[in-house]
Structure 1
Amino acid sequence: MLTFELPINPPYSYERLRSRLESHPDQQFQLIPECSMLRRAFRIETESFLVTLAFKGGLETPVLQVQTDKSLSAAQQEKLRKTVRHMFQADVDLEPVYQHMQTDQRLAPLTERFRGLRFLLDPDLFQSMVRTIIGQQLNLAFAATLTERLLTLAGDVVHDEQGQPFHVFPTAEAIARLEIEQLRQLQFSQRKAEYIIDFARAVVNRRVELDRLELMSDEEAIGYLTALRGIGRWTVECLLMFGMGRPDLLPAADIGLRNGIQLVYDLPEKPDEAKIRAIGESWAPWRSYISLYVWEAFGAFRRGEFAQPSADA
């Protein structure tokens, strides 16, 4: 058994993470809220195995305990550490974000209400892009259903000690081998099926080199990927946010962000993309994180956690 602990730059809120996982379903995670734990299958190199993630220490002294029964090489252990730190943004310092938000009376209350909230990133860019393509113009519930069907069709499976299955996201090679009709039978639209398989084949054939994105600016990455059929600016912005953790993206075409900004800024109607970009100018250089807090405010409002965030809260 391998067990190690990863300190997290405080604050970190497991409760906010749990809330987002409950409202944004991810079929690869099993929540165990009474123990502040998650379970998930990982693929490191060609090995797939189950990992238990336990959050210790609380909001201001967070530690993430990582445990697996799998025997891993030193290189695999290091890759697992790096992947987990990336996914949970363990090294991110939220204090500069909060200081920036405090200068806006509409955003300031969110820093306390949602203290410790941060992104849960995808473990790799291929998975992040496919999940984002699936989510284009779909509600969260149906996007989650389609993702689960893709996992079942083409992903690996590992089982825990009780035989419960945990799905591992399909590789680019596995999706590239699929035919359009296989996804159509799972209720993927014709276009969505084409875009996903085309993207996987582009990755396999090295027409798209995802590791190059690390060396690109946000705008360079947007230009590089939007050359592909079915991938627009919003899709790449989400990839940069949820796949890479880039701090200063503003997905102005996102309907959830439109709803959140209307709520937080108490606007009489939903802002259009131009209005969102105008408001978001003052959020730089932390537009990704502020977008996350605005999304969460709207989600919490819909869940009935409070009446409405306000400058007097």
Structure 2
Amino acid sequence: FAAMAAGDPLLARLTGRLRGLRPPRFPTVFEALVNGIACQQLSITVGIHLLGRLTAAHGRPVPEDPDELRAFPGPTDLESVTLQDLNQMGFSAAKARTILEAATAIAGGEFDLESLERLDDQTAVDRLTSLYGVGRWTAEYVLLRGLGRLHVFPGDDVGARNKLKRFFDIERTLDYEGIEELLARWHPYAGVIYFHLLLDSLAETGLVTTG
């Protein structure tokens, strides 16, 4: 990707400040799923705060510093959590239900997240969107950040879509198919471009420092 970006003036504008960056994969697919749910139709800053509250309240203590550090909760850690608990943290009723129903299905063996590794993209998206409250954007986010499929660009992300237009000076309206067409020239790195757009947004808020 770095070699491609270096030889492409359009990509160089986006990636120059974060050369060598590779989108980090979440430690578990469940963490990627809950992250995607939390950030649905919210700024990433707000989503991060919600996830921090969830981890502080229900995360697993880290042995090296159990009084201060918490790992992200797994499905079984949320079995006793109620809708009201999540509402009080700031999660909407719909997101709270989505998180808890997914955790229950996964903890009970009704939904096998790990099996997604063996599925092609569309089949994995279909499986994920069978869960209550999980749409195509969240499913594709899981493919990118939970399964490490760097060719996947969550095309329903309106913020990323608008930033893509600004970065590449595109005047026409971009729909899902238009994004696929635009990014085809940089296959198989659409997900890397998505992550650069995401970090650029974080840099604008001061949450990420770039050189």
Residue aligning to 1:224: 127
- Which structure exhibits the higher relative contact order, with contacts defined as CA atoms closer than 8 Å and separated by 6 or more residues? 2
For 1:144 and 1:197, the matched residues in 2 are separated by 18
For 1:201 and 1:257, the matched residues in 2 are separated by 31
Report the secondary structure of 1:165's partner residue: coil
Residue aligning to 1:215: 118
| Structure (1 or 2) with the greater strand fraction | 1
Residue aligning to 1:79: none
Q: Which amino acid aligns with 1:181?
A: Q
1:253 has 2:168 as partner: no
For 1:113 and 1:184, the matched residues in 2 are separated by 38
| Structure (1 or 2) with the greater helix fraction | 2
Q: 1:236 aligns with which of 139, 163, 169?
A: 139
Greater CA radius of gyration, 1 or 2? 1
Residue aligning to 1:191: 94
Deviation, structure 1 residue 104: 4.0
Range with greater deviation from structure 2 (206-215 or 179-188): 179-188
Alignment CA distance shift 1:187-1:297 (3 Å): closer
Residue aligning to 1:133: 37
How many correspondences in the alignment?
A: 209
Q: Which amino acid aligns with 1:290?
A: I
Alignment CA distance shift 1:110-1:224 (3 Å): same
Report the secondary structure of 1:185's partner residue: helix
Kindly indicate whether the alpha-carbon contact (under 8 Å) linking 1:102 and 1:108 is maintained by their aligned counterparts in 2: yes
Gaps of 5+ in 1: 1-96, 307-313
Which structure 2 residues correspond to residues 3-152 of structure 1 after superposition, within 5 A? 97-102=1-6, 104-152=8-56
Report the secondary structure of 2:69's partner residue: strand
For 2:10 and 2:203, the matched residues in 1 are separated by 16
1:171 has 2:84 as partner: no
Identity %: 30
Q: 1:156 aligns with which of 60, 78, 83?
A: 60
Deviation, structure 1 residue 160: 5.7
1:277 has 2:180 as partner: yes
1:203 has 2:106 as partner: yes
Report the secondary structure of 2:148's partner residue: coil
Residue aligning to 1:62: none
CA RMSD of aligned residues (A): 2.6
For 2:38 and 2:205, the matched residues in 1 are separated by 24
For 1:166 and 1:278, the matched residues in 2 are separated by 44
Range with greater deviation from structure 2 (103-112 or 181-190): 103-112
TM-score for the superposition, normalised by structure 1: 0.60
Alignment CA distance shift 1:186-1:117 (3 Å): same
Deviation, structure 1 residue 271: 3.2
Kindly indicate whether the alpha-carbon contact (under 8 Å) linking 1:158 and 1:166 is maintained by their aligned counterparts in 2: yes
Gaps of 5+ in 2: none
Q: Which amino acid aligns with 1:191?
A: A
